[in-house]
Chains A and B, each alone.
Chain A
Amino acid sequence: MKIFPELKNNSKIETSIKQNALFLPDFCSLGMVFAVVIIGELLAFILTLAPLGIEQQRWNDLALISLFIQWNGLMCSAVLCLLRPLIKNQSQQFIAVISYLSMLLTIALLSELSFYIMQKYSITDIISSASHWEFLLHNLIIGGIISALALRYFYIQYQWRIKIEAESSTRLQLLQARIRPHFLFNSMNSIASLTRTRPEVAERITEDLAELFRMLLRDDHKLISWSREKELSQRYIDIEKQRLGERLNIQWQTDTIPDNALIPALMLQPLLENAIFHGIEPEINGGSIIVSGELDYNQIKISIQNSNSKNIIHRKGNKMALKNIRQRLQTHFPGNASITCKEQENTYFAIVIMPYQQIQDE
C-alpha cells in the first residue's frame, strides 16, 4: 500500500511549448506537401520566364523545369519528413544545419540522377550546352538559396507562434505567477477573523491588500522607486504577519540602497512569498527572512535569504515567479540585470542585480 502516490503534474504551459518546440513544420502533412508543390510550380514559372529566349520553346522548358523542381521539392519534403522524428530533440541550430545539408544532398543526388537520365536518353537540348559540373552547381546554388529562404521563413513563423502563445497566456496566469491564490484566500480568512476581535487591524489589512492588488493589476511594465517598493513589500509582510504571527521574522538591511533607485514594481513580493512558502510555513517554529541590499559601483544588489530546513520535505516551488521576474528585468534593463538562486548550508538565496537608475526629476 503506497499511501502517497507520487503525482506528476507538469505545468501545462511548459508542455504546450515543448510540443511545438520544433520550428520545422510537419512535412508529412498533406497541407505542407500541397504548399511545396505550389511554391515549386511558382519557382518553375520564374525560372522559365526569366531568360530571354525563343517563345515557342517556353512551354517545353516549363514542363521539364517543373518536373525537375517538383521532383526536388517532394524528395526534400520526404527527407525532412523522415528526418523529423530523428532530430526533434536536438537544438534549433542543429536541426537547421542538418535539414539544410540534407536538402542540399538530396538536390545534388537528384541532379546527378537526372543528368545521367537525360544524357542516356538524350531527352533535351536545354542542357546540351551546359557541362555536367555547371548543371550540378547551378542546381545547388538555386536549391541552396531557396532552402535557406524556406528555413528562415519557418524559423520566423515559429518565433511568431511562440510569441503569440506567450502573449495568450492569460492575465490570470500572470497574476498567479506573481501572487499565490493561497495568499488571497488566507488573507480573506484572516480579515474575517479579525473583523470580530480587532476591527481596526482588519481595516488596516484590508487597506494593505487593496493597495497590493491595485499595484498588481496595473500595467506590468513599470518601474517604481525603491522607497515605494519597500513600502509595498512591507504591506505584504504585514498581512502575512497577521497570519503567521511570531513564526515570521524579517530583517531589512537595505539602508544603502538610495530611495530614488528604480525597481520593477512588485519585484520583491514574489520572492518574499517564496521565502515564506519554503522557509517559514513548513517550520513549526517558523524562521527568519533577511533582505539585504547595497549600492555597489552603480549596481544595485538585493538578496533575499531564508532558512531551508533539511528535515522538511521540499515543497514544489513557484518557478513561474522567477521566470516572470527574469523577463521583467530583461525588459527594463536588457542584458544588465540578473536574478540567481542558490542554496548554501540550508540557506536559500535569491539575488537580484540591476543597474542603478534614478528617478528623473520633472
Chain B
Amino acid sequence: MKILIVDDEPLARERLTHLIIEINNNYQLIEAANGLEAIEQVNKEVPDIVLMDIRMPGMNGLEAAHHLMSIDNPPAIIFTTAYDEYALQAFESHAIDYLLKPIRKERLEKALNSCSKLNKLQLEQLGLQNDEITYRTHINAQIRGTLFLIAVKDIYYFLADHKYITIKYSKEDVLAETIIEDTLKSLEEEFDHSFMRIHRNALIQKDKIEVLQKQRDGRILLKLKGIPEGLEVSRRHISSVRKLMKSSF
C-alpha cells in the first residue's frame, strides 16, 4: 500500500512516518508539503491513502481534497489537524474521517485499516467550513487522465459554450486554453470578488481589463492585458464595466 503524507511541517511528517513504519514496515511512503505538491504526487505516484493536513500554505488540505475527488479513481483521504473548530464540526456532521494531532498510533492504525473512500457528495456538502477561505485558489481540469490545476489568478476569462466552459489562461507566460464542465453561474458566484460578467457567455478577471473598443458595427469589445482577441460586452453589462474601469484608474 502506498501512503502520501501531506503536511507543511517537517516535524509533523516525520512523526507520521515513524508511526506508519511501526504499524507496518511494508507500506510505501511519499511526502508532500502543501496541497499543490500533494496533487503532483498523486498524479505521479498514485497513492492509495492520503493523510492530509488542513492548514497549509499555497493550497490548503480541503481544497486539495476537492481537486483530488475529481479524478477517476481518487485515493482515500484522511484529514489530520491540530485544532480546527470549524472543520471538525463539519467533519463530524458529514462522517468524514479525521485524526487529531498529536496522533495516537492505535488511532492511526485503525484509520489506515478501515478508511473508506471519501465520497464526492460528502466533500461538497462539507464546503470549506473554515474561518478563512471561501473560494478555490485553483481550478482543476483533466488532460488524458491526469489532474492538472490552473491558478485562478492566471485566468483571463471563462467562456461558456453549451455544456462546457473554455478557460483562457497563461502558464509560465504562454497562453493556453482548456475546457471544463461547470456553469458560468456557479463560477460567477464563487469568484465574484475577482471576476465579472461582461456577456451572457463570458466571465472575465477584473484585474486584466485593458481597454474598451467600439467596433464599426456598433459592438463593443473589451481588450484584456496580454491577449490579442477582444471579447464582446453586452449592452446589459456595459455600464458596470465602465464603472469598474473608472473606479480603478
B107 interface residue (CB < 8 Å to A): no
A186 interface residue (CB < 8 Å to B): yes
Proximity string of chain B (99-123) to chain A, C-beta cutoff 8 Å, 1 when within and 0 when not: 0111000000000000000000000
Q: Which of A160-216 contact B (CB under 8 A)?
A: 180-182, 184-186, 188-194, 196-197
A314 interface residue (CB < 8 Å to B): yes
Proximity string of chain B (78-110) to chain A, C-beta cutoff 8 Å, 1 when within and 0 when not: 000011001000000000000011100000000
Give the residue name and chain of the B residue nearest to A7 (CB).
B129
B84 → chain A closest CB, angstroms: 8
Given A1-B186, A190-B11, A284-B34, A185-B82 contact (CB < 8 Å): yes
A149 → chain B closest CB, angstroms: 47
Proximity string of chain A (259-301) to chain B, C-beta cutoff 8 Å, 1 when within and 0 when not: 0000000000000000000000111100000000000000000
Partner of B57, one of A6, A180, A282: A282
Tell me if B57 and A4 are in contact (CB < 8 A).
no
Tell me if A6 and B134 are in contact (CB < 8 A).
yes
Tell me if B15 and A192 are in contact (CB < 8 A).
yes
A245 interface residue (CB < 8 Å to B): yes
Tell me if B190 and A3 are in contact (CB < 8 A).
yes
B161 interface residue (CB < 8 Å to A): no
Proximity string of chain A (136-156) to chain B, C-beta cutoff 8 Å, 1 when within and 0 when not: 000000000000000000000
CA distance A193 to B14 in the complex (A): 7
Partner of B58, one of A191, A192, A284, A315: A284
Chain A CB within 10 A, most for which of B15, B58, B137: B15
Q: Which residues of B contact A319 (CB under 8 A)?
A: none
Given A7-B134, A281-B57, A193-B12 contact (CB < 8 Å): yes
A200 → chain B closest CB, angstroms: 15
B153 interface residue (CB < 8 Å to A): yes
Tell me if B190 and A313 are in contact (CB < 8 A).
no
B136 interface residue (CB < 8 Å to A): yes
Q: Which residues of A contact B136 (CB under 8 A)?
A: 3-4
Given A244-B9, A283-B57, A4-B14 contact (CB < 8 Å): no
Partner of A4, one of B9, B82, B127: B127
Q: Which of B143-186 contact A (CB under 8 A)?
A: 153, 182-183, 186
Tell me if A192 and B102 are in contact (CB < 8 A).
yes
A242 interface residue (CB < 8 Å to B): yes
Partner of B130, one of A7, A181, A245: A7
Given A189-B12, A189-B101, A192-B102, A314-B83 contact (CB < 8 Å): no
Q: Which residues of B contact A314 (CB under 8 A)?
A: 132
A120 interface residue (CB < 8 Å to B): no
Q: Which residues of B contact A7 (CB under 8 A)?
A: 86, 129-131, 134
B133 interface residue (CB < 8 Å to A): yes
B163 → chain A closest CB, angstroms: 14
Interface residue total, chain A, C-beta cutoff 8 A: 37
A53 → chain B closest CB, angstroms: 71
Proximity string of chain A (314-353) to chain B, C-beta cutoff 8 Å, 1 when within and 0 when not: 1110000000000000000000000000000000000000
B158 → chain A closest CB, angstroms: 14
Proximity string of chain A (3-27) to chain B, C-beta cutoff 8 Å, 1 when within and 0 when not: 1111101000000000000000000
Chain B CB within 10 A, most for which of A3, A196, A284: A3
B206 interface residue (CB < 8 Å to A): no
Tell me if B34 and A189 are in contact (CB < 8 A).
no
CA distance A348 to B14 in the complex (A): 33
B24 → chain A closest CB, angstroms: 18
A311 interface residue (CB < 8 Å to B): yes
Q: Which residues of B contact A185 (CB under 8 A)?
A: 82-83, 100-102
Tell me if A315 and B132 are in contact (CB < 8 A).
yes
B182 → chain A closest CB, angstroms: 8
Q: Which of B66-87 contact A (CB under 8 A)?
A: 66, 82-83, 86
Proximity string of chain B (13-46) to chain A, C-beta cutoff 8 Å, 1 when within and 0 when not: 0110010000000000000011000000000000
Tell me if A189 and B82 are in contact (CB < 8 A).
yes
CA distance A162 to B127 in the complex (A): 37
A2 interface residue (CB < 8 Å to B): yes
CA distance A136 to B182 in the complex (A): 75
Tell me if A4 and B101 are in contact (CB < 8 A).
no
Tell me if A4 and B190 are in contact (CB < 8 A).
yes
A243 interface residue (CB < 8 Å to B): yes
17 A-B contacts (beta carbon < 8 Å) = A3-B136, A4-B128, A4-B136, A5-B127, A5-B128, A7-B131, A9-B86, A185-B100, A185-B102, A188-B82, A189-B82, A196-B18, A243-B9, A243-B12, A311-B153, A313-B135, A315-B132
